[in-house]
Chains A and B, each alone.
With several copies, the nearest count.
Chain A
């Protein structure tokens, strides 16, 4: 697989690990946040943590769109499906996000809701066209990467005058979340979350470009390296961050030059701008209400806005009392700090959203990294 396999090479990885071990200053501690769940997933799945020197600590950020979807939003979707009889379409990852009353879209489906997993927003529109007597709602989630396809499908629905299709939009904005974290008391005042730099999002940046991260480097003096999601990309980005820290620089660097430019994908930005406008504020699971951090459908496309069409009101719902997702998404805690981790909360029965997607910090650690929590003895006994 060209442009994939080369970036997973084990020999290169070992050499890079050795280089990194030499490059870190022994007395120094490097605390980097990988904003994206994609990086979290790569770190866990490929066992990158094993290859990092002890001086480097990776902090998982809030960059998983499934994880930050608040309960109240899932509740809206479930109510549409269970009470209003709509055919609710969404991406597979969203099906198991816990909502109120021990429900999830998957459990609502088992209670008779018509919930369909789609691979693409276009599939949802097609379902609407194939079922003209049904109301079809696409529950859209995602960061800037996923917004352009949603915008396209809304424009397409408008062109084709599909009357029974609408979108419950939950598209959120990366820079707002980074700002929020940098301004959080743990980072800005108390320093309980020491943050020496960011591994920046690869696929978000394909769309928005690298330029939007310059303010963090300039204004907050934090190094940012935009990195691909293959494991060698991640290791290389860490090396680049280590170099910036060692040299006292704070710049936006781009490891993912093969797909990210400073200005991003103009065509994608244009269709998003045509269909969406900023929301004043939006609730993120874990981060709370973040100003100017999400998109809403423009009045010109109001007919396709499920919130207007079904006159939905948003009721915020607090997370499970003992769930530490919020603190974990802000980098304040680790999954194993949560009392429910691995006992009450598992991927089969997630109590919080971080345990749902394999990009969630809890799920990634549970599925791939749990062995690290216990001393492990490998004995080979000839029998």
Chain B
């Protein structure tokens, strides 16, 4: 549930606010729930608030997993 999207922090406005970029669209959001985020971090934005952060390595790993699995079509069931 709950529409939320990953967006990159492009500027910190004050302790509680930042500007994020999503595909060229910029919006001011509240970052009070994600203390310590920095410019270029990707946060997950929900109702105008960052509620979490994207772990870039994990994301890459997940994508690699997708690719790997689908690249081995002949090997049958997982695991």
Residues of A within 8 A of B (CB): 1-4, 6-7, 12, 15-16, 18-19, 22-23, 36-38, 63-65, 91, 119-123, 142-143, 145-146, 148-149, 152, 201-204, 206-207, 229, 232, 236, 239-240, 242-243, 246-247, 255, 257-260, 265, 267-268, 271, 359
A229 CA / B46 CA spacing, docked (Å): 13
Asked if B23 and A3 sit within 8 Å, CB to CB, the answer is no
B23 to chain A, nearest CB (A): 4
In contact, A148 and B51 (Cβ under 8 angstroms): yes
Chain A residues with Cβ below 8 Å from B33 are 148-149, 152, 265, 267-268, 271
Chain A residues whose CB sits within 8 angstroms of the CB of B32 once the complex forms: 152, 267, 271
Known: A259-B53, A267-B34. A120 touches B48 (CB 8 A): yes
How does the 8 Å CB contact mask read for B1-42 relative to A, with 1 for contact and 0 for none?
A: 111111010000000000000110000001011110000001
Q: Tell me whether A15 and B73 are in contact (CB under 8 A).
A: yes
- The interface residues of chain B lying within 8 Å CB-to-CB of A201 are 1
CB nearest neighbor in A for B52: A206
- B20 → chain A closest CB, angstroms: 12
Distance of B16 from chain A, by nearest CB (Å): 9
- Bound-state CA distance A201–B4 (Å) is 12
Q: Report how many A-B pairs have Cβ atoms within 8 Å.
A: 147
Do B1 and A206 touch (CB < 8 A)? no
Among B4, B63, B76, B79, contact of A247 (Cβ-Cβ < 8 Å): B79
Max count, chain A CB within 10 A of own CB: residue among B3, B56, B63, B65: B3
Beyond A15-B70, A16-B70, A265-B34, is A122–B48 a contact (Cβ under 8 Å)? yes
Docked pose: A232 CA to B73 CA in angstroms: 16
Given contacts A16-B66, A122-B48, A229-B4, 5 further A-B contacts (CB under 8 A): A38-B3, A64-B1, A91-B47, A123-B48, A240-B78
Q: Contact at B77–A145, with CB atoms within 8 Å? A: no
Residues of A within 8 A of B65 (CB): 236
Chain A contact surface mostly:
helix
- The CA-CA distance from A255 to B78 in the complex, in Å, is 14
A1 touches B4 (CB 8 A): no
Residues of B within 8 A of A143 (CB): 1-2
Q: Is the CB of B4 within 8 A of A145?
A: yes
Task: Determine the residue in chain B with the shortest Cβ distance to A35.
Answer: B1
Given contacts A64-B1, A149-B30, A243-B78, contact A258 B59 (CB under 8 A): yes
Which residues of chain B are near A243, meaning CB under 8 Å?
77-79
